[in-house]
Amino acid sequence: MPLTIRKLVETWGVPKGKIEFDLEDSIGNICTDTRTLHKGDFFIPLVGSNYDGHSFIADAIRIGAKGAFVSRKSKISIPEQFLHWIVDDTLEAYQKLAFLHRSKLQIPVIAVTGSAGKTTTRELICAAIKPLGKVISSEGNNNNDIGVPLTLLKANSTNCALVLEMGMRGKGEIKRLSCCAHPDIAVITNVGSAHIGRLGNRTEIAKAKCEITSCLRPDGLVVIPAGDPLLEDVLGRNWQGRILRVAIQDDLSQAVSNHSQLSINKFPKPDLLGNVDLAKSTLLLGGKTYHLPLEGLHNARNFMIALAVAREIGVAQNKLTNLSVSIPGGRSRRTKIGQLTIIDDTYNASPEAVEAALDMLVRSPGRHFAVLGTMMELGNHSVALHKRIAEHAVSLELDGLVLVVIGEEAEAMASVAGVIPRFAIVNSPQEAIKPLLSWLESGDVVLLKASRSISMERLLPYFEANQFP
């Protein structure tokens, strides 16, 4: 059922404007951009540091908007003949509208956050629950204060489920998104070092991720990877309801070795424990064999989470054994250029994600090369974390490494010079092609990975333009 003017009156009071209205009349589609506004839509002018949507209210009226929210702080003149509500904050009102819409939905809402793997896990969940019907999910970068309500408002009760990705840049953001969506299932993929420069340490990152439970329904479920004492501790302080833990056998062994002072009994036992055979691309779980839709141990963990969500909402097990999934560009996407294999993982990078990508690289047949760029938003931890990546690259015995890194981070990673047989530091992605031209041979595999702002994908056309074996 669409939102009606009655619901807005109940929430924000009687509208302004000398115009008659029917309380049972729909407010129409909700729009924040007059470029996509149609006659009969409801306009919400959002305000940012470099823009003010109130400047386009005249356009919205001209197009035939049914009504709008207007910020109390705005000095724009609104015609008396136009239906509108004065609100303290138009973004807050937008999110409130999305929540009112969500409260009418009779479908499960799944929210996904984490330091790495959010988008991949989101897409795996969508693929796993697709047998139930049409799934609405976040697209692109719509995982923030504007994107989450936008996605919520696209859903209706004919859909089988709604999957929302929730990103964050600081404290409180995921709490707002949780209270906008009131999820039935919350997923935390991991707690890593992404945004540690903003939040200071992993404990604060864990607190921010666990905000996803702020408005989780009391009978809801949290799905997490097993074996992280920090996540267990912080989550336990925020959520007293159901938790489902997933793990791969290798994860538990690693967790115990990383926390040797703890016995295995200190870790809550996983509810789902699988064994992975990467050579065969299979997962053995509960006596059933599943095809791994994506390569890499880190993606096997994400797949386990998707299986847990699918089982929770009633997908039959036989529908899950041979899933296929399409992942957005720049995320572990393999492509062939001549006789080379390029792993395009250029979308973003955190220390944990870079380590996982390197681990995946060295499992590929052939010689292994990596072009790694700066990892951003690491603050005072940046030099140490970049050094950690260099040490990990050495432990994997890469055949070659190019760094698109400058400053102290480059100095910290330069310690691998002389250890990794082929090594270079350059100032831009495009310059990385020079050493690669002299190194690469038929059958080699090259990983490209860096934070989004480095735009490592700019290197891709140079592979196409140059003669490689």
Task: Tell me the per-residue pLDDT of 155-165, one tens digit each, with 9 for 90 and over.
Answer: 998 999 999 99
Q: Mark whether 118 and 266 lie in a shared domain.
A: yes
CA pair distance 71, 93, nearest whole angstrom: 10
Q: What is the mean pLDDT of residues 224-242?
A: 95
Q: CA 345 to CA 353: how far, in whole Å?
A: 10
Instruction: Look up residue 156 and give its two tokens.
Output: 């209706």
> Is 51 within the bounds of a domain?
yes
Q: Which of 296, 319, 342 is the last residue of a domain?
A: 319
**pLDDT over 60 (residue 263):** no
- Same-domain status, 76 and 115: no
Is pLDDT of 174 > 90? yes
Say whether both 248 and 372 belong to one domain: no
Examine the fold and report which residue of 294, 319, 344 is the final residue of a domain before the chain moves on. Answer: 319
The answer to the question of residue 171 being in a domain is: yes
Domain check: are 270 and 359 in the same one?
no
CATH number at residue 348: 3.90.190.20
Q: How confident is the model at residue 351, as a pLDDT?
A: 94
Q: Please tell me the distance from the alpha carbon of residue 365 to that of residue 340, in angstroms, as a whole number.
A: 11
In-domain check, residue 99: no
Which has the higher per-residue pLDDT, 407 or 306? 306
Examine the pLDDT at 261 and tell me if it is beyond 50: no
Residues 168 and 309 in one domain: yes
The pLDDT of residue 133 is above 90: yes
DSSP symbol at 26:
B
Q: What's the confidence (pLDDT) of residue 262?
A: 45
Buried b (16+ CB within 10 A) or exposed e, 100-123: ebbeebebbbbbbbbbbbbbbbbb
57, 185: one domain = no
| pLDDT number for residue 469 | 66
Taking a C-beta distance cutoff of 8 angstroms, is the pair 206, 195 a contact? no
Query: Does 182 map to a domain?
Result: yes
Q: Other CB atoms closer than 10 Å to residue 334's CB: what's the count?
A: 12
Lowest mean pLDDT among 210-219, 239-248, 267-276: 267-276
Between these two residues, 345 and 20, which has the higher pLDDT value? 345
- Residue 201 lies inside a defined structural domain of this protein: yes
- 35: CATH: 3.40.1390.10
pLDDT of residue 169: 85
Q: What are phi and psi of 100, to 5 degrees?
A: -60, -40
Domain assignment of residue 98, yes or no? no
Res. 210 pLDDT band, cuts 50 70 90? very high
**pLDDT tens readout for residues 180-198:** 999 999 999 999 998 898 8
Whole-number Å distance between alpha carbons of 110 and 122: 9
pLDDT digits (tens, 9 = 90+) for 33-55: 999 999 999 999 999 989 999 99
Nearest CA to 401 among 433, 369, 441?
A: 369
Residue 464's pLDDT band, with cuts at 50, 70 and 90, is: confident
DSSP assignment of 350-362, as one string? -HHHHHHHHHHHH
pLDDT (tens digit per residue) in 422-450 = 999 999 999 999 999 999 999 999 999 99
pLDDT at 266: 63
173 and 227, same domain (yes or no): yes
Tell whether 154 and 60 lie within a shared domain. no
> How many Cα atoms are found within 13 Å in the side-chain-facing hemisphere of 381?
20
Instruction: Assign residue 153 the CATH number of its domain.
Output: 3.40.1190.10
pLDDT at 19: 83
Q: What is the mean pLDDT of the chain?
A: 93
Q: Among 264, 297, 319, where does a domain finish?
A: 319
307 and 379 assigned to the same domain: no
Q: With bands split at pLDDT 50, 70 and 90, how would you rate the model's confidence at 264?
A: very low
Over residues 349-372, the pLDDT tens digits come to: 999 999 999 999 999 999 999 999
Alpha-carbon separation of residue 228 from 120, 192, 259, 269, 292 (angstroms): 20, 11, 10, 12, 24
Total domains, the chain: 3
Structural domain boundaries enclosing 353: 333-465
The token duo for 137 is 């999910």
Q: Alpha helix locations (H) across 2-146?
A: 5-12, 57-63, 90-102, 118-129
How do residues 267-312 score in pLDDT, each as one tens digit?
688 999 999 999 999 999 999 999 999 999 999 999 999 999 999 9
Q: Are residues 25 and 117 in the same domain?
A: no
Q: Of all residues in the chain, what percent are helix, strand and coil, respectively (each to 5)?
A: 40, 20, 40
Q: What percent of the chain is predicted at pLDDT more than 70?
A: 96
pLDDT at residue 145 is higher than 60: yes
Task: Concatenate the DSSP letters of all residues of 65-100 into one string.
Answer: -SEEEEETT------TTS-EEEES-HHHHHHHHHHH
Q: Is the pLDDT of residue 373 over 70?
A: yes
* 370 and 298 in a common domain: no
In a domain, 97, yes or no: no
In a domain, 94, yes or no: no
Query: What's the order of all strands across the beta sheet hosting 84-87?
Result: 30-31, 42-43, 67-71, 84-87
How high is the pLDDT of residue 49?
87
Beta bridge partners of 123: none
Task: Please check whether residues 188 and 293 belong to one and the same domain.
Answer: yes
For 54-93, write each residue's pLDDT tens digit: 999 999 999 999 999 999 999 999 998 999 999 999 999 9
Question: Average pLDDT, stretch 326-351?
Answer: 91
d(CA 207, CA 49): 27
